[in-house]
Amino acid sequence: MTTLRTLAALILAAATVFAVLGSNAVWLAAAATLGLALRVALWENASRALRPALPIVLFAGALALLRWVSHTPISVLPLKTVAVFLLSTAAMRIFPWTRLSPSLDATSKVFTPWLFALFVRHFADILAAEAGRVFQARALCVTRPYGAGALRSLVAALGAVFSRALTRAERFYAAQFLRGLAA
């Protein structure tokens, strides 16, 4: 099972790299659809699977909107952003972190990339938790999706997620720096 999960995660990681490098809209759309299907299948319920993707989708939408407003052709960048997010998070979810951890040696060549992947995974978890809290708080205040202040509160919530992300990143870096793990 560990081998299968590792293999599946590596295939998804490779697909993520292709999505980063690729520029074919059809392939990117297929990759995003696959990532979406995997998220729904791997998470406990659809709501928990899709909610963390909302800020990414909004960010990608804002990118597309800015290009449309400035009368420039809409690139594949928004689609790429969504596809990379969905594929990489699915890969992170599938990868058997706990099972592989004991077998890795600190002197091995894969240890540094492994540590980097763990940093990314941990920070993505922190970000998802912070985003969850912010949007939960917003949902408690804004009960009607198109009512007064709905858009303003959405913008404020997104801003709060970014500022919290910065604060948490600063603390995480400081903690790891003091443990001798950061440059």
Partner 1 sequence: MKPVLEVEHLEFSYDSRRVVLHDISFTVFEGERVGIVGANGAGKSTLLWCLLRLLDARGSVRFFGEKLTKSAMARIGVVFQNPEDQLFMPRLIDDISLPLLNRGVEKPVAVERALKALEQVRLREAAERPASQLSLGERKRAAIAAALAGSPDLLMLDEPTAELDGRAVRQLSGVLRELRMARLIASHDLPFLKDQAQRVFLLREGQIIAEGPSQQILSDEVLLDRAGLI
Dihedral (CA of 18, 49, 139, 168) sign:
negative
- Between CA 127 and CA 174 the distance in angstroms is 17
What would the two tokens of residue 131 be?
Answer: 């985003």
Least distance in Å: CB of 180 to partner 1?
A: 5
Cβ neighbors of 162 (< 8 A, separation 6 or more) are: none
Kindly tell me which residue out of 27, 59, 97, 162 binds partner 1, with binding defined by CB under 8 A.
97
> Do residues 53 and 59 touch, judged by C-beta distance below 8 A?
no
- Between CA 99 and CA 9 the distance in angstroms is 14
- Tell me: does residue 178 bind partner 1 (CB under 8 A): yes
Least distance in Å: CB of 99 to partner 1?
A: 8
Q: What's the angle, vertex CA 62, arms to CA 155 and CA 36, rounded to 5?
A: 100
Least distance in Å: CB of 30 to partner 1?
A: 31
- Tell me: does residue 152 bind partner 1 (CB under 8 A): no
- Tell me: does residue 116 bind partner 1 (CB under 8 A): no
- Tell me: does residue 109 bind partner 1 (CB under 8 A): no
Kindly tell me which residue out of 20, 41, 125, 151 binds partner 1, with binding defined by CB under 8 A.
125
**Nearest to residue 81, comparing CAs of 29, 124, 125, 14?**
29
Kindly tell me which residue out of 57, 119, 164, 165 binds partner 1, with binding defined by CB under 8 A.
119
> Do residues 119 and 40 touch, judged by C-beta distance below 8 A?
no
Please identify, among the stretches 19-27, 81-89, 113-121, 145-153, the one whose residues bind partner 1 according to the rule CB under 8 A: 113-121
- Tell me: does residue 118 bind partner 1 (CB under 8 A): yes
Kindly tell me which residue out of 4, 37, 42, 122 binds partner 1, with binding defined by CB under 8 A.
122
What would the two tokens of residue 32 be?
Answer: 């995003």
Judged by the rule CB under 8 A, the positions of this chain that interact with partner 1 are: 97-98, 100-102, 105-106, 118-119, 121-122, 125-126, 168, 171-172, 174-181
